Amino acid sequence: MLNPNLKLNTKIFNIDVEKKSERDGFGDGLVLVGSKNENVIALTADLKDSVKMSEFANRFPERFFDVGIAEQNLVSIASGMTAEGKIPFIASYSIFCPGRSWEQIRTNICYNNRPVKIIGSHAGISTGPDGGSHQSLEDIALTRILPNMTVIVPCDAIETKKATIACTKIETPTYIRISRNETPKITTEETPFEIGKAQIVYAPEQGIAQVGIIASGPILYRALLTVKELEKNGIKVKIMNLSTIKPLDEKAIIDLAKETKRIVTCEDHQINGGVGSSVSECLSKNYPTIIEMIGIEDKFGQTGTPEELEKYYKIDKESIIEKVEKILRK
Amino acid sequence: MDKLSLKEIKELEEKAKNIRKSILIALCNAGSGHTGGSLGMTDIFTYLFFKGLKNDPQNPKWEERDRLVLSNGHICPVYYATLGERGYFSKENFENNLRKFNSPFQGHPHRKFLDILETSSGPLGEGLSQAVGIALALKIDKNNYNKKVYCLVGDGELDEGQNWEALMTANKYKLDNLIIIVDRNKVQLSGKTEEIMPLDSLYFKLESFNLNVINIDGHNFEQIHNAIEEAKNIEGKASVIIAHTIIAKGVKEWEGDYHWHGKAPNKDELELALKEI
């Protein structure tokens, strides 16, 4: 059953579940923080509409900057602004920021420990028809290895809005990874959110779960969709929303592993260096546990609908079910 | 425009001598570091901290100060030595601790260890964008309008494309509070700039970006002063001062030799250099 304490969307299992894009959630959050804090600045690299900065730009034109198609410049300018007490949000496609501008992020933002908020949109294979060149599958790895950086992968639009608001209050660099398409609303306005806190969103009504599923990002929805079939087959699972990758909620992960003894991680990102790696680093140090990983297995993407790609690259619902069944045979 | 008096020029020349000596002593003690560019930019740094730049060593974070971004962080010995000469910290501290473990005087400037710096720098081609960010941020707040942002860049690092992204941004937002000084010594790490990646005509390249461009002899205090005064008063445009300098200026035997880009003097070389200066 859904964790009642989290006040999640009770219609999540309905076929007509309400959807909204994470980028729209970011746009909403940005306007909110911008109206409350005059130090909030928004910058983009020719992607104002695409990364949903238009409303902010309309309301606060003196605090909006478009630096052209120049992501390295984007990062360093934002770093400079923090020297004068500003809180810049920079948004681009995650393949270009952090992808194109990684060393500037490392040196100008993280080495300087400046509170720049980086929004990487169009992350993951679910970006779809744009093709492999535009599907960022490496950005979690690129950002989580940077000292001082906080890394957040929200599961839906509402959580993205909350992450946008929450990161304004921390004085360190932040990366928020968001996706392009409309995805189901898993959480509600009432769902609590705290940077660095993982949440158990689903648990068996009775008895102990045999497998712990840890998901980051909108793939959490597909993880939730597995329970119907799994429970029909007598398999009990607990599902965690791991929305902060760094700092990692080690206690919550270890507690889950202690209870279930088996963990399946889910992400729309390379398994190497991503969520699966983060979880296994934590568990192998603290509580060695059998792990299976859902994610992209050292490949680049290609053109297709999100559904076609998720199936082909084995990050769809059926693949999660297979991994859960597989880990139970171990 | 006020002219520099002869007395002021004399005083600046004296300061520059002290700073060059301090740079050389520190580099010799460190056993590694960038001598050439540091000596080449000494006159510009001297002018800035003793005349051109609003700054207060008693109150390093004075809100009214002008901002300075050193993009080519490897010439930080001249930055540290000038701050030492100006009284921000003791010169001896710098001379004994450059490039030493846990020192404020890191091999490339790092704010974490020396928090009076506006930014950390080292990897080339990134300072100008940061200076643009500072200048933009100051422009948002009307009461910051009079503060200037100085950005020092090496000529070699102009190979990095990001500089030109930053210059386009400076033009777009008419950043007349930004004064860029290019150390045009025509050498970079492994040879002459015009052989590794030709930059000329640098003047016309910059002018075509709609910037206010001024050519000067970077060792002539009068010309430095006049250019900075012009740049301070220009409206609607960022300024770029192309300071023609000589790498390793001050030690005749080394002047113009790119081998001094990235090496420190040994004891004998130090002795020779100190005598000359």
Nearest to B118 among A67, A83, A111 (CB): A83
- Whether B241 contacts B228, CB under 8 Å: yes
Give the β-pairing of B191-192 and B187-188: antiparallel
pLDDT of residue A46: 97
Is position A232 within any domain? yes
Which residue of chain B comes nearest to A105, CA vs CA?
A: B126
Distance of alpha carbon A9 from alpha carbon A211, whole angstroms: 23
What is the domain-level CATH number for residue A146? 3.40.50.970
Rounded to the nearest angstrom, the minimum Cα separation between A197 and chain B is 29
Query: Could you report the predicted ipTM of this complex, rounded to two decimals?
Result: 0.95
Rounded to the nearest angstrom, the minimum Cα separation between B139 and chain A is 10
What is the three-class DSSP state of B153?
strand
Instruction: Look up the pTM and report it.
Output: 0.96
Same domain, A217 and A243: yes
**How many other β-carbons are positioned within 10 Å of the β-carbon of residue A121?**
27
How large is the angle between the packed helices B6-30 and B221-233, nearest 10 degrees?
100
Q: Provide the annotated active-site residues of A.
A: 71
Judged by CB atoms closer than 8 Å, whether chains meet at B126 and A107 is answered as yes
Alpha helix locations (H) across A106-210?
139-144, 157-168
pLDDT, tens only, B152-183: 999 999 999 999 999 999 999 999 999 999 99
Is position B167 within any domain? yes
Is position B1 within any domain? no
Which residue of chain A comes nearest to B136, CA vs CA?
A: A81
pLDDT, tens only, A34-86: 999 999 999 999 999 999 999 999 999 999 999 999 999 999 999 999 999 99
Same domain, A51 and A168: yes
Nearest to B120 among A73, A84, A107 (CB): A107
Nearest to A108 among B126, B144, B168 (CB): B126
Average pLDDT estimate for B226-251: 97
pLDDT of residue B1: 72
Same domain, A172 and A211: no
pLDDT of residue B142: 81
Judged by CB atoms closer than 8 Å, whether chains meet at B133 and A77 is answered as yes
What token pair was written down for B139? Answer: 């422009």
By C-alpha distance, which of A312, A314, A267, A304 is closest to A131?
Answer: A304
Number of folded domains that form chain A: 2
What is the three-class DSSP state of A28?
helix
Burial class (CB in 10 A: 0-12, 13-18, 19+), B8: middle
Is position A270 within any domain? yes
pLDDT in tens, chain A (330 residues): 999 999 999 999 999 999 999 999 999 999 999 999 999 999 999 999 999 999 999 999 999 999 999 999 999 999 999 999 999 999 999 999 999 999 999 999 999 999 999 999 999 999 999 999 999 999 999 999 999 999 999 999 999 999 999 999 999 999 999 999 999 999 999 999 999 999 999 999 999 999 999 999 999 999 999 999 999 999 999 999 999 999 999 999 999 999 999 999 999 999 999 999 999 999 999 999 999 999 999 999 999 999 999 999 999 999 999 999 999 998
Domain that holds residue B89: 6-276
- A113 contacts chain B (CB < 8 A): yes
Residues of B in contact with A73 (CB under 8 A): 129, 132, 162, 165-166, 169
Distance of alpha carbon A14 from alpha carbon A8, whole angstroms: 13
B123-159 burial, b at 16+ Cβ within 10 Å, e below that, comes to bbbbbbbbbbbbbbbbbbeeebeebbbbbbbbbbbbe
Percent of chain A whose pLDDT exceeds 70: 100
Number of folded domains that form chain B: 1
Domain that holds residue A235: 196-329
Q: For an interface test with B, which of A43, A77, A92 has the most B Cβ atoms less than 10 Å from its Cβ?
A: A77
- Find the largest Cα–Cα distance for chain A: 60
By C-alpha distance, which of A199, A300, A281 is closest to A242?
Answer: A199
Residues of B in contact with A113 (CB under 8 A): 111-112
Q: Which amino acid appears at position A319 of this protein?
A: S
- A64 contacts chain B (CB < 8 A): no
- A37 contacts chain B (CB < 8 A): no
Judged by CB atoms closer than 8 Å, whether chains meet at B120 and A111 is answered as yes
* Residue listed under structure tokens 């800035």: B48
Which residue of chain A comes nearest to B64, CA vs CA?
A: A84
Which residue of chain B comes nearest to A42, CA vs CA?
A: B137
- Whether A172 contacts A147, CB under 8 Å: no
Interacting residues of A285 by C-beta distance below 8 A, sequence separation 6+? none
Average pLDDT estimate for B131-157: 94
**DSSP letter for each residue of A67-78:** --S-HHHHHHHH
- Whether A85 contacts A38, CB under 8 Å: no
Is position A136 within any domain? yes
By C-alpha distance, which of A248, A238, A82 is closest to A152?
Answer: A248
Is position A224 within any domain? yes
Judged by CB atoms closer than 8 Å, whether chains meet at A80 and B133 is answered as yes
Give the mean pLDDT of chain B: 96
Percent of chain A whose pLDDT exceeds 90: 100
pLDDT tier, B144 (very low <50, low <70, confident <90, very high otherwise): confident
- Whether A153 contacts A183, CB under 8 Å: no
Same domain, A27 and A176: yes
Judged by CB atoms closer than 8 Å, whether chains meet at A77 and B169 is answered as yes
Is position A165 within any domain? yes
Interface of B with A (CB under 8 A): 67, 69, 110-112, 118-123, 126, 129-138, 140-141, 144, 161-162, 165-166, 168-169, 172-173
Give the β-pairing of B67-70 and B149-154: parallel
What is the domain-level CATH number for residue A316? 3.40.50.920
Distance of alpha carbon B151 from alpha carbon B142, whole angstroms: 21
What is the domain-level CATH number for residue B56? 3.40.50.970
Distance of alpha carbon A254 from alpha carbon A60, whole angstroms: 44
Same domain, A163 and A309: no
Nearest to B137 among A86, A104, A107 (CB): A86
